[in-house]
Amino acid sequence: MELKITDLTKQFKEVAAVDGVSCTMTGGVYGLLGANGAGKTTLMRMLCTLNTPTSGQITWDGQDIFSMAEAYRRILGYLPQDFGYYPDFTVEDYMLYIASIKGLRPVVAKRRTAELIRQVGLDKASGRKMKKLSGGMKRRAGIAQAMLNDPQILILDEPTAGLDPTERIRFRNLISELSEERIVLLSTHIVSDVEYIAKEILLMKDGRFICRGTADELIASMPERVWSLTVPKKEAEGYLRRYKVSNVKAVPNGAQLRILSAEPPAGMQSAQLQEATLEDVFLYHFGERSGDGNGEV
């Protein structure tokens, strides 16, 4: 079980959406972390044989996935970022149809559909039309369809986008549950989605992997340290301009800042050294905080 990407590039006219990326994946969860436009979707679509690389190679156990074609797609499960479905199909029909185009035999399709609908908690909604499901339920149906063929490679493109905090936690647990004995590649721009469940995190920026490793390795490799200090409200502005600030919190005597800096912030002896988190690493690399406001769960 080895999915190997070698020097992979995808050029869209002027933009190199994916730019000379290499990586080898064996079992476990891989977190693809990047800001908007980093190239996550483009990379994943190539892994799903939907787009062809401009150059470079993707192999599965040494074989080119594009020449494997159907044989490769048999072991693939994909939840796209723009999850599209058949609006007038019931959840059950939807699952059975996807099972059929995935080449499952009808008996197996029925069994897997029932199992997965239960596993993702859609039992009560299985007779409802897809278009009548809530956003979270749709995502669950989406992940269920990806799992139908018990794929060895499961690709999830921002599966948690737009979900509320509780739903997001449920999802994270579900993914973690599903990750046994397969490769799960999960893209997100929310650190907490992958912080605890990913075996390896790939930080992607402008089409390249700028940094990779376990959460601890990424934190250890960050050259800056994290300081916490409280400043009067009117000075906070100045710090925000000079430093990378990962958090601002209003406190009674001013503002408490969380600052990334190799040295203690100038003139502030009171600054306390903090333990860095993956969130700080994200800020360090992308110059912005991760997430979409629901990040801190």
Partner 1 sequence: MVKYEIKKVFARRGGVIALLIMLVLTVYTCWFATNSSSEWVNENGDTETGYHAMVKKREAQRAWSGILDEEKIRRVIEENLRITSTPEYNSKDVRLSNIAFGWGQGIHEIRGLLNHYFAVDFQTSDYYRANSLTPDMAGEFYPNRIRLLKEFLADEANGSYYRFSDAEKDWMIRQYEALKTPFYVDYMQGWDNVLTYYPTVSMILIMVLGYLMAGIFSNEFQWKSDSIFFSSAHGRNSAIRAKLAAGFLIVTAVYWAAILVYSLTVLGYLGFYGASCPLQASGRWKSFYNLTNAQAYLIVILGGYIGCVFIAFLTMLISACSRSTVLGVMTPVLIIFLPNFIQNLSFDAVIIDKILALLPARLLELNMELVYFDLFDFGGFVTGALPVAIALYVILSAALPPVIYREYRRKEIM
Task: Point out which residues bind ligand ATP (CB under 6 A).
Answer: 12, 15, 17, 34, 36-42, 81, 189
- Identity of the residue, 76 or 91, whose beta carbon is nearer to Mg ion in the bound complex: 76
Separation between Cα atoms, residue 78 and residue 44, nearest integer Å: 9
Contacted entry of Mg ion, ligand ATP, partner 1, none for residue 34, CB cut-off 5 to 8 Å set by kind: ligand ATP
Helix axes 106-119, 91-101, angle to 10 degrees: 130
- Identity of the residue, 142 or 295, whose beta carbon is nearer to partner 1 in the bound complex: 142
Separation between Cα atoms, residue 262 and residue 27, nearest integer Å: 36
- Identity of the residue, 161 or 276, whose beta carbon is nearer to partner 1 in the bound complex: 161
Q: Where are the beta strands (DSSP E) in the chain?
A: 3-12, 15-25, 28-34, 55-60, 63-64, 76-79, 153-157, 183-188, 200-205, 208-213, 225-231, 244-251, 254-261, 272-274
Is 190 in contact with 292 (CB distance < 8 Å)? yes
Contact range with Mg ion by CB under 5 A, out of 33-41, 68-76, 137-145, 208-216: 33-41
Separation between Cα atoms, residue 152 and residue 160, nearest integer Å: 21
> At closest approach, how far in Å is the CB of 111 from ligand ATP?
34
Contacted entry of ligand ATP, Mg ion, partner 1, none for residue 42, CB cut-off 5 to 8 Å set by kind: ligand ATP
Instruction: Please report which helix (H) or strand (E) contains residue 280, including its range.
Output: helix 278-286
Q: Is 212 helix (H, G, I), strand (E, B) or coil?
A: strand
Binding site for partner 1 (CB under 8 A): 45, 48-52, 69-70, 73-74, 76, 78, 80, 82-89, 93, 96-98, 100-103, 145, 149
> At closest approach, how far in Å is the CB of 217 from ligand ATP?
22
> At closest approach, how far in Å is the CB of 157 from ligand ATP?
7
CA 36 from chain centre, in angstroms, equals 12
> At closest approach, how far in Å is the CB of 186 from ligand ATP?
12
> At closest approach, how far in Å is the CB of 177 from ligand ATP?
25
- Identity of the residue, 51 or 277, whose beta carbon is nearer to partner 1 in the bound complex: 51
Looking at 21, 30, 41, 75, which residue binds Mg ion (CB under 5 A)?
A: 41
Looking at 51, 81, 261, 294, which residue binds Mg ion (CB under 5 A)?
A: 81
Indicate the residue type of 250. A
